[in-house]
Amino acid sequence: MSAMTSTISRSRPRALSAMLVTVALAVAGCSGSLPGGDDDPDDQSTAAGASLSGRWPLTGLPASGAAPRHPVMVVKIDNTSSSRPQVGLGQADLVAEELVEGGVTRLAVFYYSKLPRTVGPVRSIRATDIGIVKPANAALVASGGAPPTVRRVKQAKIRTLTEGAAGYYRDGGRTSPYNLFNRLPKLAATLKSARTPDSYFPWGDEKDFPAGQRASGLSAQFSTSHTTNWRYRRGSYLNVNSQAKPNDQFSPKTVLVLRVRIGDAGYRDPAGNPVPETRFTGKGQALVFHGGKVVRGTWRKAGLDATVSLETKGGKELSLPAGRVWMELVPVNGGNVTIRR
């Protein structure tokens, strides 16, 4: 099996229209909430009989009937060997992998259609999360955050639920900070959502997806110290170096690789490492791995609260086939993507 480093040509801009749906959140008795715009009385609402019509917003799979009463919840989960085993990934709708300090990565794990009993280890927020969370009007579940990041998340009006909120507990069999977990259904019971969120990606039919080129897998290199490896197997993708147990791994139908610029968040972690920030707006190169093939193109995102639009190399609008997606935010500066043929 040979390896080839990917190169992707840029294509012309193309706007993707999307219906904007406002999600208002109300939290009852959550002493662990970070303050934000959603704490204002005018911003709170209770469920109003929202329903699903057509597709689940995070997967594009068929949906109908009553929507969940809770909003989308994005849980920050550790992605180092210290997290073994990660818990709850198998029931997630969507996962985004982002670079953090020290060259390692962290996961932003989306839950909406299903709720596992327990998730974790729960870790802290980064400024990168604003552009990941805002398009889903999601509640952010995390252990906390550095003061500069907390201020920015507050300004972005993102509800963040930290230790002390419903469902949190410490696992006595693990060492801190890798021992914080959440019983997600308990937390969800304290949250109310007025409406369903807009579709996170542009969804389409399998038959309309471009043929692409053969690709048996890929390696997404975030830094010299971390690479996430994928292998296509029987209709889905296997994370070769997953930290979750085999029966609790996230098995996506699509791996979406977006090449992104990395900047400096403006502060250092306790060990003195500069904290990176993914610039998740603008445009960049894209690789869509689906069905054992790869399609090359361009991604665009108009703002932190905007959804991602995709184009082929030829400039045609590109939609993703329905199913679960793992989104790799791979740095242009310092990262690399290798396609396995």
- Tally the C-alpha atoms within 13 A of residue 171's C-alpha that lie toward its C-beta: 20
Task: Average the pLDDT over 10-27 and give the result.
Answer: 34
Percent of the chain at pLDDT above 70?
86
More confident position, 334 or 3: 334
Q: Could you tell me which of 257, 264, 300, 295 has the C-alpha nearest to residue 280?
A: 300
Task: Average the pLDDT over 53-67 and give the result.
Answer: 92
Residue 17 has pLDDT above 50, yes or no: no
Task: Average the pLDDT over 80-108 and give the result.
Answer: 97
Residues 107 and 79: their CA atoms lie apart, in Å, by 6
Residues 300 and 309: their CA atoms lie apart, in Å, by 5
Per residue in 280-311, pLDDT (tens digit) is 999 999 999 999 999 999 999 999 999 999 99
Binning pLDDT at 50, 70 and 90, where does residue 65 land?
A: confident
The domain 3-16+202-340 is placed in CATH, from the list 3.30.70.20, 2.40.40.20, 3.50.90.10, 1.10.3720.10, at 3.50.90.10
Task: Average the pLDDT over 213-227 and give the result.
Answer: 97
Token pair of 182, please?
């959440």
Helices (H), the chain: 128-133, 147-155, 184-188
The structural domains of the chain, with segments of one domain joined by +, span 3-16+202-340, 25-193
Per residue in 28-51, pLDDT (tens digit) is 333 366 644 333 322 323 344 677
Per residue in 149-194, pLDDT (tens digit) is 999 999 999 999 999 999 999 999 999 999 999 999 999 999 998 7
Q: Could you tell me which of 265, 19, 312 has the C-alpha nearest to residue 129?
A: 265
Per residue in 125-147, pLDDT (tens digit) is 999 999 999 999 999 999 999 99
Binning pLDDT at 50, 70 and 90, where does residue 11 land?
A: very low
Q: Which residues contact 184 (CB under 8 A, 6 or more apart)?
A: 73, 75, 88, 111, 115, 116, 117, 118, 119, 141, 167
Token pair of 227, please?
């690479």
How high does pLDDT run on average in the chain? 87
Tell whether domain 25-193 is in CATH 3.50.90.10: yes
